[in-house]
Amino acid sequence: MTLDLVLITGMSGSGKSVALHALEDAGYYCVDNLPPELLASFLALQTAQRARRVAVAIDVRSGVSLPGLPLQLANLRKEGIALRSLFLDSTTEALVRRFSETRRRHPLSRQEGRVDAPEQERALVQAIELERELLADLRDGADVIDTSLIQPAQLRTYIKALLNAPQRQLTLVFQSFAFKRGLPLDADYVFDVRMLPNPHYVAELRALTGRDTPVVDWLRAHDEVAQMYADIEQFLNHWLAALADDHRSYVTVAIGCTGGQHRSVFLVEQLARAFGERWAALKRHRELDTD
């Protein structure tokens, strides 16, 4: 019986506790802040007890043990453990806001006092940037989820969708977003479609989305939209096999327009439907999901 292991790591304040609770709800035995030195023995114990699904959260609080963790994970995969590593990330601005709201100290901060005081905010930003450096190797080998603009309920939904995707198959995530709210941190490829005709300027379409039939029909009537779809499809068709051969398990394709409501949503829906016939394909609509 193969042990199914999910490793949750990422930036402090990015939602690791929420993710761990989602995994617990999904039937995983969960452990938070496990020292990396104990990971192998912990898994041996779970295997002996015939556990099937285990989730472990490891983060920067492990300090000097972190540099050796990527090698441990590689060895676990060689031993046949089905390992999925999830890295939760957020923009520095979002993390500063969250620490300010909760009045908690960052694990790498030695400063006391109010986060919203100028000198304390500078110290917090420095701690966040140091944490990014320390976790860079773990981020490179993980499936990244950007939690900057999503709610806890959205994160739980994203986690469960990832877990339901085939473990040993390349999973494509198509994500729509609004450029005015910033680029998604978890994007592997970003396509800008703001030059396409915009339904926002058509009064009867403005309140609708790229999932609604009137908007779909309107966009399909424009040759530029069809050309953009064909270009993105051709690019992905050319490179997906190479990505799969490179042992990538998870690729996020982000498509952005001005408001993240019409053009990007339409293209994500169409691409996810088409590529879902050949690959494991998920879709997200960052702005619509948030609303």
Is 68 known to sit in a ligand binding site?
A: no
Rounded Cα distance, 175 and 199, in Å: 19
pLDDT attached to residue 113 = 47
Q: Is 61 annotated as a binding residue?
A: yes
The answer to whether 276 is annotated as binding is no
- What local confidence, expressed as pLDDT, does residue 249 receive? 81
The reply to whether 176 sits in an annotated binding site is no
For the chain (291 residues), the mean pLDDT of every run of 10, in chain order, is: 88 94 92 91 91 92 83 88 92 93 83 54 86 92 92 91 78 96 95 98 97 98 98 96 84 97 98 94 90 57
Cut 0.95: pTM above it: no
**Interatomic CA distance for residues 230 and 239, integer angstroms:** 14
Separation CA 279–CA 273 (nearest Å): 10
59 is in an annotated binding site: yes
Please indicate if the annotation marks 60 as binding a ligand. yes
- Residue 10 annotated as part of some ligand binding site: yes
Q: What pLDDT does residue 167 have?
A: 64
For residue 103, what are its two tokens? 């009045």
The pair of structure tokens assigned to 198 is 């915009």
Nearest to 225 by CA among 253, 202, 191: 191
Residue 13 is assigned to a ligand binding site: yes
Cα–Cα distance for residue pair 197/200, rounded to 1 Å:
9
Q: Would the annotation count 210 as a binding residue?
A: no
* CA nearest neighbour of 251 among 226, 287, 282: 282
